[in-house]
Structure formats: C-alpha cells, structure tokens
Amino acid sequence: MDTLTSQSVKQPERPKLLQIMGPGLITGASDDDPSGIATYSQVGAQFGYGLAWTLLFSYPLMAAIQEISARIGRVTGYGIAGNLRRHYSPWLSSTIVGMLLIANTINLGADLGAMGAALKLLIAGPSLLYVSLFGLLSASLEIFTRYARYVSVLKWLCLSLFSYVICAFVVKVPWTDVGWAVIWPHLSMNPDYLVAIVAVMGTTISPYLFFWQAEQEVEDEQERPGARALTSAPEQARAEFSRMRIDTYLGMALSNVIAFFIVVTTATTLHAHGVTNIQTSAEAAEALRAVAGQFTFIVFAAGIIGTGMLTLPVLAGSAAYAVGELFSWRVGLARRPFQAKAFYGVIAAATAIGVGLNFTSIDPVKALYWSAVVNGIVAVPVMIAMMFLSMRTDIMAGFTLPLALRALGWGATIVMATTIVAMAMTWFR
C-alpha cells in the first residue's frame, strides 16, 4: 500500500485510552452483528445456559488470532490479502478473496434485513425502505466521512452493545445457575448441541475480522506522524505491540462479554418460557416482547440497529481492502473518494448488492447459514496462511510470533478446522 498524501488526517502523537482502543475495539464490537445476535439468541433459547461456556472457551483463541492479524499488518505494512498476494500463488489469494467477498456480501444483506425488520418492529412502516436507507447511510458515511472522524463514530457506536447488558439486568438473571452452568457444563454429543458449538465458534472467529483488523493497523500506522511498518522501524515495536495487545484483548473481551449477556438474557426469558426456536435477531426481539416486557423488547431491538450500523462498514470495508490489495489498487478509508475510486466502488457495490438481496426471493435465514458455511471454509486456509506468514523471518524480520501466541494461534486454527469437520458431519447424519 503506497503512502498517503499530505492531505491525510493525522492522529494525536500521544493517544489517550479511547484513541488506543481502535482496530481491536471496533473489530471485536462488530463481531456482535445482527446475524451474530441471532446465533447467540438461538443458543440461549434452545439450550438455556448450557452453552454459555463456549464464549469463555473461545475468547483466548479469538483474541490470539486477532492479535496475529494485527501484528501482520503492523509489522509488514500490508493487510492479509496484500501478504497473500505477495507470498503465495495467485490462485490461492484470488480464491480466498473471492469467497470472502461472497460471504461478506451475503452477510451484509442478512444484517441489513435484520436492521430493517427491527426498525419495523419499533415504529412500523416498510422494512424494505428501511433496508435501503440503512445501506445508503452506511455506504455514504464510509465513503464521504473523514477517516479520523469516522473511526470515532464507530467507537461510539460500540456503546450500542451495552443494550444487551441492560437487558440481562432487567430480566433478573439467576446468576448462581449461570455460574454453575459455566463452571460445570453438561456436555453432550447430541448433533444439535454440536451444531450450536459450531455456530458459536464460526460466529466469534470470522475471516472478515482478520482482514479488517490487519488493514486498520496499516491505516493507523500511515495516519500517525513518525509511525512506520515495524520492519523499517524496529525501535517502535515494544510500544506498538503493547498498544496492540491492550486494544485487541479488551476489544475481543467486549465482544464475548456482550455475546454472553445475549445468551443469558434469551435463556432466562425465552428458554424458560418454552420458546426454543429463534431464527433471526428480529424474531428474538419480538419474542422478548411477550415474555420480558416492552422495555426489554425496545432495548434489544434498538441494539440490533446500533450493532448493525457498526458492522456494515466492517463487512463492506474488509471486502474492499481484500479486493483492492489483491489487484494492487490504492486502498484506505483515509483516502478521499477520487484517490481510491475502485476501492470505494467495491464498498458501494457490496452494500448495494446486500440491499438488493432483500428484494429477492432468497430466504435470508438460509442465506445467512450458507454465509456462515463459506466463512468457516475460508477461515481455515486463511488462518493456516497467517500462521505460516507470521513465523517467516523473511516477512516478519525479527518479529515472528512468541511461543505462547504461536500455540494459541495454532490451537484456534485446529479448533476452527474441527468445527468445520463437525459441521460437515451433521450434513450426513
């Protein structure tokens, strides 16, 4: 990625905590998108507190693989797709980027549909109109808002996640029961139980998160005065790795804590009242109205819209970064639209197609399922490639992964591969 022009917006030289919390915070928060909310709601409704342990189990694996993504971007000055293009065969990089683009576009459509349905529940009116307006608003902000201001908007949107914490405390959760379910879970080989574990792992560890966080590290490095890729400025490594670790591990903690509260809320309300089949986040909100009251319903539904507005630019942006680096385009949200026309064109096109999917006869639930399948399939080769990239001295110089991070990274890769095998086995049960 070539250097930005002098017109770029500069970040403060001594950032405060909110400014340190950037790529990792936004990446982690965007993981709790409307489709993720649907997954966690279904898990809570179907199994009660029985699968809450998976969110504690997945946290170190998720945080490790995201730190590895961030390291690759910060050390090399290129994102995941750029490194794949430079160091692997064209067929591998183009196949992975193509599948990511398909999965992200479908996910965009599903999230937009959920946001439209949530707003319809809140104020009535035509959901397809809301879908179109959300798509237009998200793309316009991403394309035309200055980078530093846009990042700050995304950070504040992270506050929408706390709507699910509010819900959990409104419905009076029996925390002792939750604690025992986490500490001493009742494990099962039941196919539905295994599928739910696959769904949680596939939701928390998604390839679009890898691409986004690596690219945001590249953007931040180019935006801060004096910052350079660590291969060119090794003296910056200690401070940068410390910042990156704080940002990533707190961001991923936020993601899994919120997911935990969604599971707990729906388990306490829906599962306890015999509602065990939830297919969309809007269905979860509507079901909560009947069993948990109007206030919980409003907070839950509003949270769907807030998290959706946070996730849409991450989905569209990660796809644009990947395609742009694959073809060696100028990429970056810090660039003005006329400086990166093709890059912003992918953002606009992916969002428009996502909007358009809601006007077709495609079942959004099935589309989201296949998006998860594609995401899972893409995640494994990307994670394997990332692990090899991050251990090569000719790419990472003296910043190859420390032993603990290497072990967690391979552990996450093995777990993700196992979930895909488990998913495939359920097709033949």
Which of the residue ranges 122-136, 289-303, 316-330, 402-416 would you say has the lowest mean pLDDT? 289-303
Q: What Å distances lie between residue 417 and 106, 110, 314, 420, CA to CA? A: 22, 25, 24, 5
CB distance 334 to 218 below 8 Å: no
pLDDT at 20: 57
The correct answer on CATH 3.40.50.1010 for the domain covering 17-427 is: no
Over the chain, what is the mean pLDDT?
86
pLDDT at 364: 65
Q: What pLDDT, in 10s, does the model give residues 35-65?
A: 888 888 888 989 999 999 999 999 999 999 9
Burial 323-335 (b: 16+ CB within 10 A, else e): bbbbeebebbbbb
Q: What pLDDT, in 10s, does the model give residues 259-298?
A: 999 999 999 988 888 888 877 777 888 888 877 788 888 8
For the cut 60, the answer to whether the pLDDT of residue 185 exceeds it is yes
Q: What angle do CA 378, 384, 412 make, to 5 degrees?
A: 90
Domain ranges for the chain? 17-427
Long-range Cβ pairs for the range 128-134 (8 Å, 24+): 128/358, 128/359, 131/355, 131/358, 132/355, 134/305, 134/308, 134/309, 134/312
**Which amino acid is located at 235 in the chain?**
E
For the cut 90, the answer to whether the pLDDT of residue 79 exceeds it is yes
pLDDT at 210: 93
pLDDT at 189: 77
Helix 207-223 with 147-157: angle, nearest 10 deg: 140
| Helix, strand, coil share of the chain (percent; to 5) | 80, 0, 20
pLDDT at 282: 79
pLDDT at 2: 45
pLDDT at 10: 43
For the cut 50, the answer to whether the pLDDT of residue 19 exceeds it is yes
Between 158 and 338, residue with greater pLDDT:
338
Q: pTM above 0.95?
A: no
